[in-house]
Structure 1
């Protein structure tokens, strides 16, 4: 991953870009942020993948575990189908979201499958949970586009923006927005008090902040509470996600699939997902081939 400091802007309104990256990896999934790199700077945001793939890739994803984090799956183009015994079925497209608080431990990976589109584009984000939730029970939500409120060009995926609150059961102190600006459109984001962490990543089009931001980039803004002024490029609409938050106060303690606030919590989370893994394997032989396990908790 290449991260280059940008020259500070002589601008008393818009926040300047301090870092930018195109992540690492090529093909259908590009890793823009991990807990071991930018996640340390942008916590509670600790992981971000940009996905641009044939929907058959989603069906090939194996069951895998997590603890201590929440995952947020957001589609910016196309759609996926969700199937969960506790939540029913439906489609996640632009503006819809899958939220899963892994908490104490979970195995998942089969709750989403191909929808009606041949391809999808979108983001998967992880957030580090606060100490009082990192070992809490698993909590999942599947919210179709009509359930997500909008403030101007921004869908309020997580948090509270301009008095509009997302129905996602996320911890307080962070906002995650999905924004589409038409070609040439301007927009200003004023972070809530205390939201010193601020970043965005574009999946389509270009933005000016006034520095140029291109599709496929993740850019980090200087810490503070100043407003961010953006303008879409003149040639096409710009689609991007934006995150702002009160900084996560704990050092990250990381496992292969887990992020916690302490070594004790990490050990407990890893022990729980190991126990679940053994139970899952033991029960596999008792299920018929037509029965799937979308989320095991």
Structure 2
């Protein structure tokens, strides 16, 4: 276990746990909707979080044919599999193991996300991030981030952190945008615990934040008694200077936070 001294003075507590709802989207892709519409106000600026994961091609093979978005951003993080993105701006890219697709819909875009595999595991997440009112009619854009371009750090022994977006522990993520132009100041981390240990992650006071456990389980907070189980989202209180995660075994945790837009 990690015996280094923690640096958080007041770790955030766990407000509640949420279990996702099974559903289908696109042309019948089986997925779990974790952040649903009833949580949008509490977790502003985040609008939706879906998890997809299956070894059965019948669950994902039909993909997501052309469909429109407007006024927000979609962030797709692929854990395993291959998916081809095409959109009405001419953007195209292959999303594959460990990579991220970041699309700003702005004033409107039509895109498709179609599997480029007929067997094997397809697993990942799609997060919807709201845009402030002044930016909702901006030009649509698309960016592919390959796995090798996502910064990784080892802040303590036995922990690997992949920094998808934002800045934490003196390191910038693959997407790190100035607060003046992107006031949501989104933080998106994929934390891999390789053994029993804990990790402190500073978070700005008042930013809405949650964790999602997609391997193992983790404990949240100073007491270490607040457990978030596998396939649960733990919504964090807004008081405190950061998140303390304690894993007792191999676990993987998404950590997501952002400044609310009201």
Scaled by the length of structure 2, the TM-score of the pair is 0.79
State the match for 2:44 in structure 1. Answer: 43
The equivalent position to 1:230 in structure 2, one of 234, 237, 245, is 245
Q: Is the 8 A contact 2:14 2:236 kept in 1?
A: yes
Q: How far apart are residue 81 of structure 1 and its match?
A: 3.6
Unaligned 5+ segments in structure 2 are: 1-7, 25-29, 155-159
Q: Which runs of structure 2 are paired with 1:46-65 in the superposition (5 Å)?
A: 46-53=47-54, 54=56, 57-65=60-68
Q: How far apart are residue 178 of structure 1 and its match?
A: 1.2
State the match for 1:130 in structure 2. Answer: 132
Q: How far apart are residue 59 of structure 1 and its match?
A: 3.9
- Is residue 174 of structure 1 aligned with residue 186 of structure 2? yes
Q: Is the 8 A contact 2:205 2:241 kept in 1?
A: no
Give the match's secondary structure for 2:41.
helix
Q: How far apart are residue 109 of structure 1 and its match?
A: 1.9
Give the match's secondary structure for 1:40.
coil
Q: Is the 8 A contact 1:196 1:225 kept in 2?
A: no
1:32 and 1:241, CA in 2 relative to 1: closer, same or farther beyond 3 A? same
- Is residue 245 of structure 1 aligned with residue 245 of structure 2? no
Distance 1:169 1:187 in 2: 22
**Per-residue Cα deviation, 1:156-192 (whole angstroms, up to 9, x for no partner):** 111122232234376351211111111313211111x
Question: Which of 1 and 2 has greater Rg?
Answer: 1
Q: How far apart are residue 91 of structure 1 and its match?
A: 4.3
1:161 and 1:66, CA in 2 relative to 1: closer, same or farther beyond 3 A? same
Scaled by the length of structure 1, the TM-score of the pair is 0.70
Q: How far apart are residue 194 of structure 1 and its match?
A: 4.3
Give the match's secondary structure for 1:189.
strand
Give the match's secondary structure for 2:200.
strand
Q: How well do the aligned residues superpose, as a CA RMSD in angstroms?
A: 2.5
1:81 and 1:24, CA in 2 relative to 1: closer, same or farther beyond 3 A? closer
Q: Is the 8 A contact 1:79 1:117 kept in 2?
A: no
State the match for 1:196 in structure 2. Answer: 207
Equivalenced residue count is 232
The equivalent position to 1:104 in structure 2, one of 102, 107, 110, is 107
Give the match's secondary structure for 1:242.
strand
Give the match's secondary structure for 1:155.
strand
Q: Which runs of structure 2 are paired with 1:263-274 in the superposition (5 Å)?
A: none
Bigger fraction of residues in helix? 1
1:87 and 1:187, CA in 2 relative to 1: closer, same or farther beyond 3 A? same
State the match for 2:146 in structure 1. Answer: 144
Unaligned 5+ segments in structure 1 are: 1-10, 250-297
1:109 and 1:55, CA in 2 relative to 1: closer, same or farther beyond 3 A? farther
Give the match's secondary structure for 1:224.
coil
Distance 1:116 1:14 in 2: 45
Bigger fraction of residues in strand? 2
